[in-house]
Structure 1
Amino acid sequence: MMRRSHVGARVATLLFLSPLAGCRTEPPPSYLRVEGPAPRLAEVPDSRALLVVFWATWCPPCRTETPQLVALAEAPPDALRVVVFSHDTDAKAVETFLGGPPPAALHLRLDEGHPVARAFGVDALPQSFLVVDGRLVARFSGPREWDSRAMRRLLEKLIREHPAPSSAPSR
């Protein structure tokens, strides 16, 4: 008898919450919080926050997210820069896919032999990492709607949660 009322309570709770879930116009972006030092990246733009994206032209989900990724890179939230590491072995393949040279805002690099991907522990494409002040903050697996309002708010929130190191001298 108690089991039946327990199930009934769950059903009632779900019915109560389901209209609330329908109020959202976009699902919340899923991500995994991570903590620790980020692998050192040579020749990347100087910025407090980096969105490091591992991607390839031959990867269907990567191709799907590309327009949103370009839009975010060209008009990023404050303090954020996008850096894309391509698993492609030929820059021509990237240029062909993008219809010309990669937009400068993507800071695209070929990750030949995948040393950078290995340093980040990438196990599938696309995969992205938010790095703030040299620290890993979040890991995003799979394609994203990078330029959506919800994703921009999430990125801004994650960057704000990690205040910039104080430049004041310590006593």
Structure 2
Amino acid sequence: MGNGKPMEVNDGNFEKEVLDSPTPVLVDFWAAWCGPCRMVAPELEKLAEEESDRLKVAKLNVEDNRVIAARYGISSIPTMILFKDGKEQKRLMGARSKARILEEIIAFI
């Protein structure tokens, strides 16, 4: 289960925290210089808090974690990928509201 706030993941702990997670994980691929990433961050914080019983939200800085970003072909940010049972289930690109994010991933959580 999530802890009510987004957690930082990186190249070193991605497999343990995301792929091996028994709970679905929505990973936000972001960078500090990305304006739309800053816009979606509070929406993800609300999502993490409100859906903590069935979803984990994680953030991966693409500047600092190029291995995972390259593995998943992240070419534009923000990109959010929902992982369940170690597999990508849904990919969302661009900033959007909490309600829109939830609408897109609800079938998988």
Normalising by the smaller structure, the TM-score range is 0.7 to 0.9
| Alignment equivalent of 1:73, drawn from 14, 36, 48 | 48
Give runs of aligned pairs for residues 112-123 of structure 1, distance below 5 A.
114-123=66-75
Correspondence for 2:26:
51
TM-score norm. by structure 2 comes to 0.73
Q: Could you tell me how far 1:133 is from its partner in structure 2?
A: 1.1
Correspondence for 2:105:
155
Find the residue that maps to 1:62 and give its secondary structure: helix
**Do the aligned residues in 1 keep the contact of 2:25 with 2:82 (CA within 8 Å)?**
yes
C-alpha change, 1:52 and 1:44, in structure 2 (3 Å) is same
Find the residue that maps to 2:17 and give its secondary structure: coil
Structure showing greater relative contact order (alpha-carbon pairs closer than 8 Å, 6 or more residues apart)? 2
Q: Could you tell me how far 1:84 is from its partner in structure 2?
A: 0.6
1:77-114 Cα offsets, whole Å, 9 max, x none, are 642111110135xxxxxxxxxxxxxxxxxxxxx52xx1
Q: Does 1:137 align with 2:108?
A: no
TM-score norm. by structure 1 comes to 0.49
Q: Which has the larger radius of gyration?
A: 1
Q: How many residues align?
A: 95
Bigger fraction of residues in strand: 2
The percent of aligned pairs where both chains have the same amino acid is 29
Correspondence for 1:42:
15
Query: Where in structure 1 are there 5+ consecutive unaligned residues?
Result: 1-39, 89-109, 160-171
Where in structure 1 do 4 or more consecutive aligned residues deviate above 6 Å?
none
Distance in 1 (CA, whole Å) between partners of 2:80 and 2:101 is 13
Cα RMSD over matched residues? 2.2
Find the residue that maps to 2:58 and give its secondary structure: strand
Distance in 2 (CA, whole Å) between partners of 1:134 and 1:86 is 20
Q: Could you tell me how far 1:152 is from its partner in structure 2?
A: 2.2
